[in-house]
Amino acid sequence: MLSTKMYKTIFILCLSFFAVLAKHEFYDGHTLYNIVVKDVQQAELVNELGYQIPIDIWTYAKPGQPGQILVSKEDKQQFLDALHDAGVAYSILTENIRESLELEEERLAAAAKQKNERSTFGLDFETIHRYEVVDAYLEELGTRFPHYVRVESAGRSVQGRDIKYLKISTSHFQNDTKPVVMLQSLLHAREWITLPSTLYAIEKLVIDVTERDLVDNIDWIIMPIVNPDGYEWSHTDTRFWRKNRRVGLLPGDTCVGVDLNRNFDAFWGTASSSNVCSDTYHGPSAFSEPETINIREILRPYMSRLALYIDIHSHGSMILYGFGNGQLPPNGLILHVVGVAMAQAIDEVKWAEKPNYVVGNIVAILYRASGGSSDWAQLAGASLAYTYELPSYRGQSGLNGFLVDPDFIEQAAYETWEGLKAGARQAATAFYRQIAEK
């Protein structure tokens, strides 16, 4: 006879087994397609399909550059018919993305279990850490390094999570003649690989400082989780969630969330979606969301010395600058030069099989997009503002796109830091030169 305690244990085991099974059920039968377009007409047609069918375009197809599109079981027929009618070639990258999601979860969990005990204080780069872990870590950094680290709260998210960020400065931000560099990640919830890159920057600026000039000459603001509600939702429910978790946009809450990278005050609403259900929904007005207001407000006192602003996204191995309407900022040439320096620094240490970084104006390289954070920063007074698109993995495990393979986490963080450092140094040099000339 089984005891009541054993029954309870079996019951709990069954529950957790079904919870794991149910977790990625939403994605069961979703297929990831590789799309090859012959010309610009085909590219436009495929990209516009996104307005007719609820497909998830991971990479926009261009002649010479295949696109990646995730399509649900229900929408597959309509999608494939449209491709056939237009004569667009495609192949299947992942037949059932749910299997990849399960693989990602297993690999990350195994890596977390096996991780080596760290000899120093800090977060490891073997797995992707959740909001609460990062939040506690930031607090701890503030306590351990009070001489040059301040942990501050930018405000709350839609669901009330505290959004913390670090201010790293040898002069507690009191010296107005020092340049400020701002780094942020996870504005888009599903772009998990971006989190270790800001955590790595923190590690190299606070715990394992090997390049003193970076802390002596620059004041840093680092916000690792800009969109904590969306981020947590991408862990607990919908892995490819991109937006924040704003509700009440439509009666009955049929659709949730604002794309925070369409919500900043930069040509707001001109190249984004007004459809609440779209992944690029811009929100009811510019800066309608607490998560975007937070960024604006924490930078407000430092705008005149904001030498570099970098919003880290994934994926695509790109360094993008403004503007999202195709117009170049007045300092376009300098933006390009510093962008190239950052890209070269990354390319020098990247894995050989990875593509080189591409640098340029967002419209020239990707697409039109309004309300972007880096466009806003550039317009609001930052000397140099960029969006990074970190690489996707595409290794042996077959995980790609937004899916993270633990084997790539530390490398992605390390190589990105090489780019960030190159940018920060160039920005600081330009800033000090300007001060000297005044």
Name the residues that contact ligand 0X9, by CB under 6 A. Answer: 188, 191, 261, 313, 320, 322, 324, 362, 369, 372, 374-375, 387, 389
Q: Are 32 and 58 in contact (CB under 8 A)?
A: yes
SS3 content of the chain, % helix, strand, coil (to 5): 45, 15, 40
Question: Which CB atom, from 52 or from 270, has the smaller least distance to ligand 0X9?
Answer: 270
Question: Is 243 a residue that touches Zn ion (CB under 5 A)?
Answer: no
Nearer CB in complex with ligand 0X9: 88/312? 312
Closest contact distance (angstroms) between CB of 371 and ligand 0X9 is 8
Residue environment code for 181-203, b if the CB has 16+ CB neighbours within 10 A, otherwise e: bbbbbbbbbbbbbbbbbbbbbbb
Residue 387 binds: one of Zn ion, ligand 0X9, none (C-beta under 5 to 8 A by kind): ligand 0X9
Distance CA 154, CA 391 (A): 29
From 247, 256, 258, select the one nearest 280 (Cα to Cα).
Answer: 258
253's CB contacts (< 8 A; 6+ apart) are 247
Which one of 38-46, 223-231, 306-314, 347-355 is the stretch in contact with Zn ion (CB under 5 A)? Answer: 306-314
Q: Binding partner of residue 320 among Zn ion, ligand 0X9, none, CB under 5 to 8 Å per kind?
A: ligand 0X9
Per-residue binding string, Zn ion, 165-194, x by CB under 5 A, is: -----------------------x------
Cβ distance to ligand 0X9 smaller for residue 362 or 409: 362
Q: Give the shortest CB-261-to-ligand 0X9 separation in angstroms.
A: 4
Using CB distances below 5 to 8 A depending on partner kind, what does residue 369 bind out of Zn ion, ligand 0X9, none? ligand 0X9
Q: Which is nearer to ligand 0X9, 107 or 262 (CB)?
A: 262
The set of catalytic residues is 389
Q: Which residues contact 14 (CB under 8 A, 6 or more apart)?
A: none
What 3 state SS string does 41-108 have?
A: HHHHHHHHHHHHCCCEEEECCECCECEEEEECCCCHHHHHHHHHHHCCEEEEEECCHHHHHHHHHHHH
Sign of CA dihedral 131, 132, 137, 139: positive
If contact means CB under 5 to 8 A according to the sort of partner, which of Zn ion, ligand 0X9, none does residue 375 touch? Answer: ligand 0X9
Q: Which residue is nearest to ligand 0X9 (CB)?
A: 372
Q: Closer CB to ligand 0X9, residue 148 or residue 257?
A: 257
Contacted by 157, from Zn ion, ligand 0X9, none: CB < 5 to 8 Å by type? none
Residue 148: CB minimum distance to ligand 0X9, A: 31
- Between strands 306-314 and 180-185, the pairing is parallel
Residue 184: CB minimum distance to ligand 0X9, A: 13
- Alpha carbon 69 to its chain centroid, in Å, reads 18
| Residue 313 in contact with Zn ion, rule: CB under 5 A | yes
Smallest gap from residue 135 Cβ to ligand 0X9 (A):
23
Cβ atoms within 10 Å of 212's Cβ, excluding its own: 9
Report in angstroms how near the CB of residue 186 gets to ligand 0X9 at its nearest.
11
- d(C-alpha 304, C-alpha 50), whole Å: 40
Stretch that binds Zn ion, among 119-127, 173-181, 307-315, 365-373 (CB under 5 A): 307-315
Give the number of other CB atoms < 10 A from CB of residue 378. Answer: 24
Complex with ligand 0X9: residue 291 or 375, whichever CB lies closer: 375
State the pairing for strand pair 180-185/219-223: parallel
When CB distances are held under 5 to 8 angstroms depending on the partner's kind, the choice from Zn ion, ligand 0X9, none that residue 415 binds is none
Considering the complex, state which of residue 322 and residue 391 has its C-beta at the smaller distance from ligand 0X9. Answer: 322
Q: How many residues does the chain have?
A: 438
Residue 88 binds what, of Zn ion, ligand 0X9, none (CB under 5 to 8 Å, by partner type)?
A: none
Q: List CB contacts of 375: < 8 A, sequence separation 6 or more.
A: 264, 266, 267, 322, 323, 324, 385
Q: 3-class SS at 152?
A: strand
We find the least distance from the C-beta atom of residue 130 to Zn ion, in angstroms, to be 19
Question: Do residues 70 and 79 lie in contact, with contact meaning Cβ atoms separated by under 8 Å?
Answer: no
**Partner in contact with 372, chosen from ligand 0X9, Zn ion, none, beta carbon below 5 to 8 Å by kind:** ligand 0X9
Nearer Cβ to Zn ion, position 72 or 261? 261
Q: Is 315 in the site for Zn ion (CB under 5 A)?
A: no
**Cα 146 to Cα 139: distance, rounded to the nearest angstrom:** 11
In the complex, the residues that contact Zn ion under the rule CB under 5 A are 188, 313
